[in-house]
Chains A and B, each alone.
Chain A
Amino acid sequence: MATPLNPLPLDAWREAFEAFLELPAEGRADEDARRAAFERFAALGFPTRRLEGWRFTDLAPLRGTVFEPGAGDRPLDAAWLAPLVDGPRLVFVNGRHAPWLSQLEGLPAGARLEAVPALPVGFDGDDALAALHAAFVEDEARLVLAPGVALERPLHLLLLSVGDGTLATPRVVLELGEGAAATVVEEHRGQGAYWSNPQASIRLRAGARLTHVALQDEAPEASHTARLAVRLARDARLALARVWLGGRLARADLALALDGEGAEATLEGLSLVGDGQTADHHVDLRHAVAHGSSRQTFRAVLSGAARSVFDGTIRVEPGAQKTDAQQQARNLLLSRRAVANTQPRLEIFADDVKCGHGATVGALDDDALFYLRSRGLGEAEARAMLVRAFAAEFVDVLADAGLVGIVRRLEARLAAFLDREGRP
């Protein structure tokens, strides 16, 4: 509450919130909690750059505008609905489930996939955007796997947002029982100057294995602020892949807790950040017990006046001996106007651990460029080849997971990115 109120068109926000509460919504019997969440947001105001966690990311595009929850039955671009992965699909439009677009067949016994009204929870911290999420959250995509159940095909969660000034507030909950396994692709896409403010929580019980791909392919004028919280029990394995492509402002706050011994988390990220875009990943990874391991590799390619932010905390709690935690942030700057801010933070309270971090910020290697050109490749082709090389490991991660549809999307976006970059 100590944070001063920012210039926030609060009356207009309040009006939007009251209008939202008036809307007919099945199962919304939680008005008091929503009001409490909204008041929390109103008291905190938008985070400003005076806050440590927001030093490099300016929410100005959001602060002066009032967004409102949008209708769930907007006209959609048919291309968004082309299959991305071969598996069941749950589609949300503007934070609401669109059952006519979802395909839930083919799930094994012991797997429950549903869209349910979400409860306004999780706003008791000092995160204004989490409070706003709780106030406005509508539907929740929920996957629950009973112990030992494995999804053979990847699950596609398609979270669409449409319309200027629309606030989309979807929630995703994934709960994998002991030894359960799944691949889940969470795709964000849309059209217009909307604001998508999603939240996801993942819980992996002992020995569960999850591959979670976040494909953030929001509209160029859109803003995206996401929070993801994960808890891993003993021997659970999590592979996160973050494909970060769209939005003028895209921010993710990832909080991972390795609560069980032998838990393993791998975080791989690739951001393509074009002129005028900001891509921001904040990671808070906590090793609470012994014998955990974590690997983080975040990559960003920047062109024009782009900005990338990576802020990664690794906490190793007392007693979390034999922790093996590594973090890498790599930035490739294709323009002198691009800016990359990386901030590793290691907080280690155990003495028998292996922890490391590294950060690189650099341009394309001149010697490599000349070498390629000296063999006949044009300058644009040589640059493209080196940028692809920078992204290659990440593409391999997706390809190894069999996610060819996402590889194709990424390659198409990369080609367009390089094409724009190549123009003066």
Chain B
Amino acid sequence: MNLLEIRDLHASVDGREILKGVSLAIRPGEVHAIMGPNGSGKSTLANIVAGRPGYAATAGEVLYRGTDLLALAPEERAREGVFLAFQYPVEIPGVNNLYFLKAALNAIRKHRGEDELDALDFLERVQRKAGLVKMDESFFKRPVNEGFSGGEKKRNEILQMTVLEPQLAVLDETDSGLDIDALKVVADGVNALRGPERGFLVITHYQRLLDYIVPDHVHVLVDGRIVRSGGAGLALELEAQGYGDFGRAGGASRAGA
């Protein structure tokens, strides 16, 4: 069974059609990359999969392990194993980073019928993962993302991903604005989680990230449609040629800001 299957997905935001029939299937164990110019609909696709209010499918369907994903509330998707690494992680003053992560993990564990982790077991687990994303423990005690640099926010997303261990992780331009060290951290986080049961949808504007996360499939999204799919080599080809050959190359990214 496919982990994620998107069939002829159409979506509008603020009355404007952004996705114009996207189809895509991710099998367990696969990493798919979606590349495309700004404004092509990449972030809309990510937000629809995660269930962001205001992003609704107008036609088509999204199946997650064979069930209708779009019928689920965002938290239900998360508990079922869907994770979105945000393009713009949200700052939440007054909510402790670690406390939030523990509440999230326990909500997911509860849904799975597992016992909640106590404070010590949880801390041990986070410390292990934090080492992986080279995140200083001082970030644990700070409010979620508040005052974090761009790179720190993205590391925090990857920390959350590695702690929550989703079945399907969607990375929405997680590489944007990152230096090479931070980029490697993101890649290490993804590669550490890669396994026969898990799938990834890596959305990126640049090929650079895909040097470190080598995808099984690459899709080119232009103006709301997948115009070409191929193997990892397609990313290199795009890097050399740009998106110009696929038509519209301009536009501004609007998602989630």
- Which residues of A are interface residues toward B (Cβ below 8 A)? 365-368, 370-379, 381-382, 385-386, 388-393
Q: CA A373 – CA B90 in complex, angstroms? A: 12
Collect the chain A residues with CB atoms within 8 Å of residue B94's CB. 386, 388-393
CB proximity of B218 to chain A, nearest CB, Å: 25
Specify which of B50, B86, B95, B101 lies most central, judged by the most chain A CB atoms within 10 Å of its CB: B95
Which B residues lie within 8 Å of A367 (CB)?
A: 90, 256
Starting from the known contacts A376-B108, A377-B103, 16 additional A-B residue pairs (CB-CB under 8 Å) come to: A367-B256, A371-B90, A372-B92, A373-B75, A374-B50, A374-B75, A376-B104, A377-B75, A381-B107, A382-B75, A385-B95, A385-B100, A385-B103, A386-B94, A386-B95, A389-B94
Contact A368:B90 (CB < 8 A) given known A376-B111, A377-B107, A381-B107: yes
Enumerate chain A residues within 8 angstroms of B160, measured Cβ to Cβ.
375
Residues of B within 8 A of A385 (CB): 95, 100, 103
Chain B residues closer than 8 Å to A373, beta-carbon distance: 51, 73-75, 78
Complex alpha-carbon distance, A389 and B78, angstroms: 22
Contacts of B111 in A (CB 8 A): 376
- Residue of A whose beta carbon sits closest to that of B74: A373
- Across the interface, name the chain B residue whose C-beta is closest to A391: B94
Q: Is the CB of B92 within 8 A of A371?
A: yes
Chain A residues in 8 Å Cβ range of B101: 375
CB of B230 within 8 Å of the partner chain: no
Decide: A379 and B89 in contact? CB cutoff 8 A.
no
Given contact pairs A368-B90, A385-B103, A375 touches B164 in the complex (Cβ within 8 A):
yes
Judging by beta carbons under 8 Å apart, are A379 and B73 in contact? yes
* C-alpha gap A373/B108 in the complex (Å): 11
Interface centre among B51, B94, B107, B144 (most CB of A within 10 A): B94
Q: Which 7 pairs of residues, A with B, have the shortest CB-CB distance?
A: A389-B94, A375-B104, A376-B78, A371-B90, A376-B107, A392-B94, A373-B74
Residues of A within 8 A of B256 (CB): 367
Q: A67 to B164, alpha carbons, bound, how many Å?
A: 59
- A sample of 17 inter-chain contacts (CB < 8 A) reads A370-B90, A371-B92, A373-B78, A374-B51, A374-B74, A374-B75, A374-B84, A375-B100, A375-B107, A375-B160, A377-B104, A377-B107, A378-B75, A379-B75, A382-B75, A386-B94, A389-B143
Contact A372 B84 (CB under 8 A): no
Chain B 153-186: CB-based contact to A (< 8 A → 1; otherwise 0)? 0000000100010000000000000000000000
The answer to whether residues A376 and B75 also contact, given A389-B94, A389-B95, A390-B94 and a CB cut-off of 8 A, is yes
In the bound complex, what is the Cα–Cα distance between A367 and B53 (angstroms)?
9
Write the nearest CB–CB distance from B80 to chain A, whole angstroms: 9
Instruction: Tell me whether B90 and A375 are in contact (CB under 8 A).
Output: no
In the complex where A379-B73, A389-B92 touch, is A371 in contact with B86 (Cβ < 8 A)?
yes
Residues in chain B near residue A378, CB distance under 8 A: 75, 107
Q: Which of B51, B93, B100, B143 contacts A372 (CB 8 A)?
A: B100
| Identity of the chain A residue whose Cβ is nearest the Cβ of B110 in the assembled complex | A376
Complexed CA–CA distance, A382 and B79 (Å): 14
Task: Determine whether B52 belongs to the interface, using a CB cutoff of 8 Å to chain A.
Answer: yes
Contacts of B90 in A (CB 8 A): 365, 367-368, 370-371
Nearest chain-A residue to B163 (Cβ)?
A375
Chain B residues with CB under 8 Å of A375's CB are 75, 78, 83, 100-101, 104, 107, 160, 164
- Bound CA span A381–B84, Å: 19
Indicate which residue in B79, B84, B92, B105 contacts A386 across the interface (CB closer than 8 Å).
B92
| Contact (Cβ within 8 A) A368 B78 | no
- Nearest residue in A to B81 (C-beta to C-beta)? A376
Contact between A381 and B103, CB atoms less than 8 A apart: yes
Residues of A within 8 A of B50 (CB): 374
Residues of the A chain whose Cβ atoms lie less than 8 Å from the Cβ of B95: 372, 385-386, 388-389, 392
B74 CB contacts on chain A under 8 angstroms: 370, 373-374
Q: With A and B bound together, what is the CA distance between A374 and B86 in angstroms? A: 10
CB of A389 within 8 A of CB of B164, answer: no
Min CB gap A380→B, angstroms: 10
Complex Cα–Cα for A379 and B75 (A): 8
CB contact under 8 A between A366 and B100, given known A389-B94, A390-B94: no
Residue of chain A at shortest CB distance from B256: A367
Expressed in whole angstroms, the minimum distance between the Cβ of A334 and any Cβ of chain B is 16
Q: Is the CB of A371 within 8 A of B164?
A: no
**Contacting residues, chain B, for A388 (C-beta < 8 A):** 94-95
Residue in B closest to A382 when the chains form the complex, CB atoms: B75
**Of A372, A376, A379, A392, most B-chain CB atoms within 10 Å:** A376
Asked if A366 and B164 sit within 8 Å, CB to CB, the answer is: no
Cα A366 to Cα B160 with chains together (Å): 20
Of all chain B residues, which has the CB nearest A370?
A: B52
Q: In whole angstroms, what is the CA distance A377 to B164 when docked? A: 12
Q: How far is the CB of A385 from chain B (nearest CB, A)?
A: 6
Question: Which B-chain residue is minimally distant from A387 (CB atoms)?
Answer: B94
Nearest Cβ distance between residue A27 and chain B, in whole angstroms?
Answer: 50
Residues of chain A lying within 8 A (CB to CB) of residue B105: 376
How close is A262's CB to chain B, nearest CB, in angstroms? 32
Q: Bits for B27-69, please: 1 = Cβ < 8 Å to A, else 0.
A: 0000000000000000000000011110000000000000000
Q: Distance in Å from the Cβ of A282 to the closest Cβ of chain B?
A: 27
